[in-house]
Structure 1
């Protein structure tokens, strides 16, 4: 009898499915709407659990530096991924350029559209208000935004009229709630928020190419590779495109 019970117990252990530990993703704040839409499909398809922590790429990179247990990091620029790579905190072989994006000037939904160029009077458009922008010296959206303003020759006149925020979604919220009349955010952010309107697209030649690299960390759960692969598949990429992102090859 004891032998029979032991044999049955062994068979049960062999037949029982292995439960995934789950995948913890650290992702740039601008990815929230898209990843929130994509992750459930992956979970349903694979049975794996995905948890995503959103913040500025700079904040997430620093958390990984001090030992945060992320499995997958998706940054909104290459520089913060380069920092982690230089410290051997990511699996370099897994690193891929996942997405690209563009910058837009936003206002209220009723704002008139305009061509953003050398003749655009941004200071006049602000009318004494502030331009919402992510931190210009640390957060990718802010770094790109500052570069764009410099490239357009507008930085010197508006630099003291900028309301800097911890991440690009916070800058988006300032405009959406009316706390700031204008803001510079990613194209995908503007699409995600009905309470703002796009005044104009900032010409991409005025700022560095926006690249979202993704990579597994050195301590990644093996299941994280499956999610990274899924993000490069047709279903996920179709959702990214719908949300206003582009693919690195165009």
Structure 2
């Protein structure tokens, strides 16, 4: 039986349907704090499946990522573990106006090597230096990386910093600090609660009081001049139920909802 020729309208619809997805598929490069490793692995798969875009995630300490953006690294989105580094980029005109949101909250905890660490009460009376003995306290860089900055602030507010400062082993980012404790190279460490939840070879033995350090907030924003449709799609996806569930599975508190 001879085929009926397609009308012009039908032919146009067919062309649009077969070419729309490849045409709109783009790559979104996300610079994100290392503490988001597990959550973003889940979000990456869901975002790519739902939108057809390709997500490239670069994970490191927020300070290192911010400096790379300052130097012109081709990031589309920055998710920082600290408002301070986002403030720095925003002050320099490197954040697209109107795209910044406070995305997540977190807590910092004291972890011990192994699975059977004894709980302690974290307060001014804690003899953390005595607990360490000849060992080291693993922390992210205390002057640059948010987890280290929060940890130092908490120790200072509790009157513990002076006694443990000589015993601190600083790592480039919070996941590296966690790895030191998990491997037994440091008996204790200060990391985010979400990082501790992702590692089987450490025990959370105490949570630092929330009033002992500045609020832990993770802002997200598009980089100036890189707020295209795919970037907007990703920032919107971070607010969807699947993304929220991924964050909450890792122990984050989703803000603004």
Partner of 2:139: 133
- TM-score if structure 2 supplies the norm length? 0.90
- TM-score if structure 1 supplies the norm length? 0.93
Residues 129 and 181, structure 1, Cα contact 8 Å, conserved in 2 = yes
- Cα distance in 1 for partners of 2:239, 2:189 equals 30
- Cα distance in 1 for partners of 2:176, 2:153 equals 19
Deviates more, 1:105-114 or 1:164-173: 105-114
Summarize deviations over 1:146-187 as a string: whole Å, max 9, x none.
Answer: 000001110010000000011000000000101100000000
- Cα distance in 2 for partners of 1:242, 1:39 equals 15
Query: Runs ≥4 in structure 1, deviation > 6 angstroms?
Result: none
- Please show how residues 57-72 of structure 1 align to structure 2 within 5 Å: 57-72=62-77
Asked whether 1:92 is paired with 2:85, we answer no
Partner of 1:3: none
Q: Note the residue ranges of structure 2 that are not aligned, 5 or more in a row.
A: 1-7
- Please show how residues 1-250 of structure 1 align to structure 2 within 5 Å: 14=16, 15-17=18-20, 18-108=23-113, 109-220=115-226, 221-248=228-255
Deviates more, 1:118-127 or 1:132-141: 118-127
- Cα distance in 2 for partners of 1:128, 1:209 equals 32
How many correspondences in the alignment? 242
Q: Note the residue ranges of structure 1 that are not aligned, 5 or more in a row.
A: 1-6
1:118, CA displacement in angstroms?
Answer: 1.7
- Cα distance in 2 for partners of 1:92, 1:104 equals 34
Residues 24 and 71, structure 1, Cα contact 8 Å, conserved in 2 = yes
Residues 103 and 256, structure 2, Cα contact 8 Å, conserved in 1 = no
